[in-house]
Structures are given as C-alpha cells and as structure tokens.
C-alpha cells in the first residue's frame, strides 16, 4: 500500500503536473470506487463535471483536491489509493484502456485516469461548506502528521503510556501517527536501533524522541527519492520510485545488514511482516 511518501509524491505530481485541469466529463467504470455520494455514480460525475482541480493537499494517506466551477468553490474531491490505486496523466496521448481502469476524468484532449488492480481505492465528493471529515470518516481517526511540531517523543510517551503492544504495531496505528505503514515503520525502527517487538511502554522518552527524528528523516529521504516501488506504486507518468533500492531492512529477509553484515530477520507482528537486524536493533540500547 502506498504510504505517506508515495502519496506525497503523487500529491506534488498532481499539483504541478495536472495544473488547473478542467473536467468536461467523468466516466466511472467501477461503481464501488465511488464511496460518496453512496451508490450514486451519476451524482458524483455531475458534481465534478465542469470543475477545475486546483490545489491538492494530503492528510495521512488521503488526497484532497479543491474543486472550482466558474470561479466558485464546488466542494472537494477526496481520494485514497489503498493497496494498488494510482493515477495516470495523459496530455493528448492515445493510451488504450487497461482492464483495471476505474475512473476517467476527461477534458479538452487531456485525461486523468485512475487505475486500480485490486479495486480497493476509493473516491469521495465533499459538498461545498461541508467538512471533509464528515464525508470521509477515516479522517476523524487520524493522529498527527509525522512532520508536525506536535509529533515528538513527549507526545509518543503520553500516547503509548500503559500500552504493551509492540512498538511496530503502534506505529502502524493511524490514530497514533498518520501515514506510516509497514515499509517506513521497519526503516525508522532500524535507524533508531529499536527492535520492532519491544513493548511500547518500555521505551524511554529519549528512545521515542530518537524514533520520531528517524521517522521524519526516512520519510523525507523517501519523498526525495520518489517513494518506494516494490509492487504497484508508480509516479503520475508511470515511473518507479527509487527508495526501495536503498532500504535498510524492509523487503530484505536473510540479506546481510548494510551496517553490520548480520542476516536481516523477518517476523510477523499483528499479522504484518517485520524486518529487522538482531545486532543493530537490541533491546535496552
């Protein structure tokens, strides 16, 4: 699933590559992709027709675009890529439809195409004057952004006080910190020298502060590298991200640690695979 860096890369590409795209026609090819208005793809299409996609912002793994029709606010378009969703931008190009094309936004020879192999991606139309969280209820449960000043060791210590769940599991909880997934939880724990299975409430504020700092650094590094393309993620123009080639531990079971040479271990925590170095990530460090 695309995580914060991949979604941020998509946001920047949409902001700078698509510009003020004017939607003349909307074609919904898979009804369940439209989460709101519920069960009414025609209303969704009508709400976006003759609208410009203007500013794009990200909240966690969600994307939100301001819609403008004839100079007036016309609500917002919300998108969650989920596991395999991605956008393609076609500027006058002739590209055959693939069988996984779910929604097409067309206008004046241009097209913004939403492709989703596993069909878990979702879109919402948020009416003007309505809070996005009222329509996209998942926004209500999000914790702070990793880049926010409020996200630090003191916050994590308070938030995880009394919790014995593994720190890796806590990092995947979107109500604790927004946008982090399996890849970057593994990576920041390695860089902070913390094993993924250690109980959250056993970590000191200093360790948690170090963890926050490493999370911010690894996310920023991945954004700079265009994200990670282990499977389905592609940029707007279909290009792979480069961070996966530099991953410290994620996706490298049994490979030698890039620091010490010890074999990278893999274990399942909370139903998710975790990758870590038993030498570089020891309890009590």
* CATH number of the structural domain spanning residue 204: 1.10.8.50
Beta bridge partners of 180: none
Residue 146 lies in a domain: no
Q: Is residue 16 located within the same domain as residue 114?
A: yes
Using 50, 70 and 90 to split pLDDT, how confident is the model at 23?
A: very high
Residue 267 lies in a domain: yes
Could you report the per-residue pLDDT of 184-235, keeping only the tens digit for each? Answer: 999 999 999 999 999 999 999 999 999 999 999 999 999 998 888 655 555 6
Q: Is residue 101 located within the same domain as residue 172?
A: no
pLDDT of residue 167: 98
- Residue 241 pLDDT > 70: no
Tell me the catalytic residues: 2-3, 61, 272
Residue 44 lies in a domain: yes
Q: 262: phi > 0 → left, psi -120 to 50 → alpha, else beta; which?
A: beta
C-alpha of 256 from chain center? 28
Domain count, the chain: 2
Could you report the per-residue pLDDT of 31-73, keeping only the tens digit for each? Answer: 999 999 988 999 999 999 999 999 999 999 999 999 999 999 9
Question: Among 51, 59, 57, which Cα is nearest to 20's?
Answer: 51
pLDDT top residue among 207 and 95: 207
Contact 214, 146 (CB under 8 A): no
pLDDT top residue among 244 and 127: 127
Phi then psi for residue 239, to 5 deg, are -95, 145
Q: 3-state SS string over 26-77?
A: EEECCHHHEEECCCCHHHHHHHHCCCEEEEEEEECCEEEEEEEECCEEEEEE
- The token duo for 148 is 């926010």
Q: 3-state SS string over the chain?
A: CCCHHHHHHHHHHHHHHHCCEECCEEEECCHHHEEECCCCHHHHHHHHCCCEEEEEEEECCEEEEEEEECCEEEEEEEEECCCCEEEEEEECCCCCCCCCEEEEEEECCEEEEEEECCCCCEEEEECCCCCHHHHCHHHHHCCCCCCCCCCCHHHHHHHHCCCCCEHHHHHHCCCCCCCCCHHHHHHHHHHHCCCCCCEHHHCCHHHHHHHHHHHHHHHHHHHHCCCCCCCCCCCCCCCCCCHHHHCCCCCCCCCECCCCCCECEEEEECCEEEEECCCCCCCCC
Tell how strand 34-36 and strand 72-80 pair up.
unpaired
CA 257, 260, 264: angle at the middle one, nearest 5? 30
Burial of 12 (0-12, 13-18, 19+ CB in 10 A): middle
Q: Is residue 203 located within the same domain as residue 90?
A: no
Q: Is residue 209 located within the same domain as residue 250?
A: yes
Mean pLDDT value across residues 135-156:
97
pLDDT of residue 212: 98
pLDDT of residue 239: 61
Q: Is residue 68 located within the same domain as residue 160?
A: no
Q: Is residue 133 located within the same domain as residue 12?
A: yes
- Residue 243 pLDDT > 90: no
Residue 54: give the domain boundaries: 4-141
Residue 67 lies in a domain: yes
pLDDT of residue 124: 98
C-alpha of 127 from chain center? 24
Residue 148 lies in a domain: no
- Final residue belonging to a domain, choices 86, 106, 141: 141
CA gap 216, 245 in Å, rounded: 19
Using 50, 70 and 90 to split pLDDT, how confident is the model at 245?
A: confident
Residue 283 lies in a domain: no
Using 50, 70 and 90 to split pLDDT, how confident is the model at 95?
A: confident
- C-alpha to C-alpha distances, 8 to 58, 168, 220, nearest whole angstrom: 7, 22, 10
- Residue 237 pLDDT > 70: no
């Amino acid at each position: 699933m695309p995580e914060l860096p991949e979604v941020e890369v998509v946001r920047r590409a949409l902001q700078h590559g698509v510009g003020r795209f004017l939607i003349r026609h909307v074609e919904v090819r898979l009804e369940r992709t439209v989460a709101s208005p519920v069960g009414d793809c025609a209303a969704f299409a009508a709400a976006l027709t003759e609208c410009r996609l203007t500013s794009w912002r990200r909240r966690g793994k969600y994307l939100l675009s301001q819609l403008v029709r004839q100079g007036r606010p016309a609500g917002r378009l919300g998108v969650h890529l989920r596991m395999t969703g991605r956008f393609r931008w076609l500027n006058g190009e002739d590209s055959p439809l693939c069988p996984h094309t779910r929604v097409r936004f067309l206008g004046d020879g241009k097209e913004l195409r939403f492709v989703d192999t596993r069909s878990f991606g979702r879109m919402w139309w948020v009416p003007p004057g309505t809070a996005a969280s009222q329509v996209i209820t998942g926004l209500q449960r999000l914790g702070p952004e990793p880049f926010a000043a409020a996200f630090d060791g003191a916050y994590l210590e308070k938030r995880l006080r009394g919790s014995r769940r593994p720190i890796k599991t806590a990092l995947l909880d979107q109500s604790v910190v927004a946008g982090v997934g399996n890849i970057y939880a593994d990576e920041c724990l390695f860089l902070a020298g913390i094993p993924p299975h250690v109980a959250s409430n056993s970590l000191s504020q200093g360790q948690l502060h170090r963890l926050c700092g490493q999370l911010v650094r690894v996310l920023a590094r991945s954004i700079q590298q265009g994200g990670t393309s282990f499977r389905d993620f592609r940029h707007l123009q279909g290009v792979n991200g480069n961070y996966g080639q530099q991953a410290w531990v994620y996706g490298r079971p049994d490979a030698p640690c890039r620091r010490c040479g010890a074999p990278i271990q893999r274990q399942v925590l909370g139903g998710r695979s975790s990758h870590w170095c038993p030498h570089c990530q020891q309890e009590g460090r």
